[in-house]
């Protein structure tokens, strides 16, 4: 792995498990039983792991950009919360960051980027954290 100054990873907004499609949002997450949560998290990790050939040492910040699939109004944090949880755990598991606690992850921000019907997604940009 190489150390980076900035890295962007495209994250899914839903996960396919067999014939079922699970939206990554807090409302859905709260309805999943614990075994299903674990399965969806595992599928998420498998889906993004090929984009993780980098590492950061020290403090980082993560900036999420959400591209919606349609015009429906959504609570931005409902979408970002689950993706952020899964993504930070994945970064830790694959050695991209030392840990996902507040000693390492100092800042998390997000922004709604509008509609992209053909490629709904979350783009996560990780970079070293420098105090403002």
Q: Provide the token pair at 121.
A: 């997604």
- Fold that domain 2-128 belongs to in CATH: 60s Ribosomal Protein L30; Chain: A; (3.30.1330)
Query: Which pLDDT score, from 0 to 100, does residue 131 have?
Result: 79
pTM, to two decimals: 0.92
Domain coordinates in residue numbering, the chain: 2-128
Sign of CA dihedral 25, 26, 32, 38: positive
List per-residue pLDDT tens for the chain, 132 residues long: 555 689 999 999 999 988 999 999 998 888 889 899 999 999 999 999 999 999 999 999 999 999 999 999 999 999 999 999 999 999 999 999 999 999 999 999 999 999 999 999 999 999 999 876
């Amino acid at each position: 792995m190489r150390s980076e100054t900035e890295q962007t990873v495209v994250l899914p907004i839903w996960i396919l498990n067999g014939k079922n499609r699970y939206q990554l949002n807090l409302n859905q997450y709260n309805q999943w039983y614990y075994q299903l949560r674990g399965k969806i998290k595992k599928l998420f990790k498998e889906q993004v792991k090929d984009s993780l050939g980098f590492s950061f040492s020290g403090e980082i910040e993560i900036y999420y950009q959400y591209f919606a699939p349609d015009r429906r109004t959504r609570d931005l944090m409902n979408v970002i919360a689950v993706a952020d949880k899964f993504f930070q755990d994945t970064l830790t598991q694959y050695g991209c960051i030392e840990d996902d606690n507040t000693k390492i992850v100092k800042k998390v921000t997000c922004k709604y980027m509008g509609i992209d019907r053909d490629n709904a997604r979350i783009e996560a940009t990780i970079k070293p954290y420098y105090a403002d």
